[in-house]
Amino acid sequence: MSRSPDGGETALRTGGVATFEFEFGGGSAVWSGDASALFDGAEPPYDVGALLALLGAEEREALAKTLGGVARGERSFGFIHCAPRPGHAARWTLFRGKAIEGADGHVARLVGAAIDVTEQRKELAQARSHLEDRSRRLETMVDSAVSAILTIDNAGRIQAANKATISLFGYSLEEMIGRNVRMLMPERYAVDHDQYIKNYVDTGRKKIIGIGREVTGQRKDASTFAMHLAVSEFEDNGRRYFTGIITDLTARDAAEKAIRDSQLRLAEAQKMDAIGQLTGGVAHDFNNLLTVISGNLELLDMRLDDERARDLVRRADEAARMGARLTERLLTFSRRRKLQPSVLDLNEVALGMLELLRRSLGETVRVDANLAPDLWNVKVDPSEIENAILNLCINGRDAMPDGGRILIETNNVRLDDVDIADFGGLPVGDYVKLAVSDTGSGMSPEVVARAFEPFFTTKETGRGTGLGLSTIYGFVKQSGGDARIYSEVGKGTTANLYLPRATGEIEARAPSANIAESTPPEAERILVVEDNPQVRELTIRRLEILGYETLVAENGPDAISLLEAAKVDLVFSDVVMPAGMSGFDVAGWVHKNRPEIRVLLTSGFAPEIASAGAETAFAGALLRKPYTQTDLARAVRKALRER
């Protein structure tokens, strides 16, 4: 057994091939070529023991298995050997060969080749590293996707899922891998899913694959949500897989719902505003009629001696007063009534009304209060907020014919950008919430939607005008707030009033002025400016009965013509008039050109009354129609005394 002079060593060290023949059971091998590179430069003979001494544990085990296999009858073998080279990089050799039987049928020798695969291993390692880097980049890219991405096989088993899938459905990756994708679907869809895949595999007919559609997903907590699913397919090693890209539509649906709700609120606001315009106009004309009716009834009452006749007049006058109260409520709803707000503490208002409410609502109704400490102040009309609380409590009582509980609550609340989306145009800021709840029969959503409309009522005929809640709504809106009703049939109702926080100090409520009905001085002259002939004639009679001289003008320009030449002590003018001049315009002219003349305005309805600009421009007295003879006498005397 000798070294071959054919350059085998060089061949092995440069990636070549050296052959060998080994007598099975012997200790040495015959090499075709120099195999010293395999044995770290050792001199031949290269026996098996020397080879084993140079092998690592894993290589030695592989060689032992190979030889053992040959002894058991296997006729081919192969293993990898790493030849250590001090001072040099190790080189790898692949041994492949077969067993040759002798005459006795047993293995006599092994023949094969040693192939230097060092460079191939390097290239393989580089390729594997490149593939691993690419796989990591792809995995990172998929994991960074906003949409959920998962892959299933043709049996529906989940093979891979990105982080968005884990976040969306709430399962860990370990909980999903290997399980059927049905776990991510509601039961009604899951039962048919596998059949969908089978039908597609069998027929090629597409239902979602390559098309995309909206479906319903189910999270680990059993909650469901709308999602868009786009599915593609691919093959790998002869197996078919499907990849689904899932987009959560929850945010989209929420946005669409918000838009629909906003449109409904806008439509509701426009409807309420239109109703307000209508009712305000009706109130104006109606108050003029009531002024004529009640005024003439008063004058008639002064002439009658028959007590039975006077009783009939008083009954008619009371009906006219009831009509006036109805128009007052209409004006409040339409936000055309001039409020007299002051800064106050709603807790004090509620506490002050508790005893009255407990007495008036009956023994079967329990009235409690849960009032927040350190409640912010609000600026509202005191009489209107008291009326609101009273009306809400009466509604609660009427909804509890067998008795129940009414709870009055107050709270400080801050409405942010998200909260105000549910309110009718309220600005972000601090509000005080006044809530009145009952344990009554409740209302259906259809009834709640119409609860604030004027004249809408669910009470029996004769038990309600349908103006209670509409009046509250108008008052709250005119005060810069909003009103909301929450109710469920059989579970009661809660009315929530949101009023803006006030920064000023609480104002003391001044007592009503008591003006004496004294006889007017001689020669006091009043200019009556009124376009309605019936109201104008009645007003002249009333003032003459009170002892005043009168001049008459049907509109603003006529009034100014008279004022430029005549002596007048007081101008008593309607607000809403034709000819391009309102009562405010007449008052402005008088203030500028005849400041010694006093002005008293009157109106059944005037949009200008509710505006801040009108209040600033005219700070004088205003007598609201319809008014009594006593009201007129006091208002005129007060206006004249201010000179």
- Per-10-residue mean pLDDT of the chain, 643 residues long, equals 36 56 61 56 56 62 72 73 65 78 73 79 81 74 80 89 91 92 88 78 69 87 90 86 89 78 69 64 72 80 79 78 67 60 90 83 89 92 84 88 92 81 76 93 86 70 61 83 89 92 70 42 81 87 88 92 90 87 90 91 63 49 82 89 69
4 burial via Cβ count (<10 Å: 0-12, 13-18, 19+): middle
Q: Quote the CA–CA distance of 8 and 4 in Å, as a whole number.
A: 7
pLDDT attached to residue 84: 61
**Per-residue CA distances from 634 to 51, 269, 359 (Å):** 130, 40, 35
d(CA 28, CA 47): 4
User: Which run of H or E residues covers position 220?
Assistant: none
Q: Which residues of 406-433 are buried (b: 16+ CB within 10 A; e: fewer)?
A: bbbbbeeeebeeeeeeebeebeeeebbb
Between CA 533 and CA 289 the distance in angstroms is 11
End-to-end, the C-alpha distance of the chain in Å comes to 145
Single pTM value for the model:
0.41
Amino acid at 73: G
For each of the domains in the chain, give its residue range(s) and CATH number, in order of start: 8-123 (3.30.450.20), 145-248 (3.30.450.20), 260-333 (1.10.287), 342-502 (3.30.565.10), 525-641 (3.40.50.2300)
Q: How many CB atoms are located within 10 Å of the residue 208 CB?
A: 15
The whole-number pLDDT of residue 627 equals 83
How distant, in Å, are the alpha carbons of 292, 315, 537 from that of 302?
Answer: 16, 15, 17
Neighbours of 93 (CB within 10 A): 21
Give CA–CA dist 287/270, Å, rounded. 25
443 and 469 in contact (C-beta within 8 Å)? no
What confidence score (pLDDT) does residue 29 get? 58
Q: Spell out the residues 6+ positions from residue 611 whose beta carbon is closer than 8 angstroms to its own.
A: none
Q: What is the pLDDT of residue 625?
A: 80
pLDDT for residue 328: 66
The whole-number pLDDT of residue 519 equals 47
Among residues 345, 317, 342, 560, the alpha carbon closest in space to that of 432 is found at 345
Q: Which amino acid is at 379?
A: K
Q: What does the DSSP assignment read for 300-360?
A: HHHH---HHHHHHHHHHHHHHHHHHHHHHHHHHHTT-S----EEE-HHHHHHHHHHHHHHH
Helix pair 382-398, 468-478: axis angle to 10 deg: 150
Q: What is the pLDDT of residue 276?
A: 62
Torsion of CA 293, 295, 300, 305, to 10 degrees: 120
The C-alpha torsion from 509 through 511 and 512 to 517, rounded to 10°, is -160
Among 75, 91, 81, which residue's Cα sits nearest to residue 60? 81
Query: How far apart (Å, rounded) are the C-alpha atoms in residues 297 and 603?
Result: 20
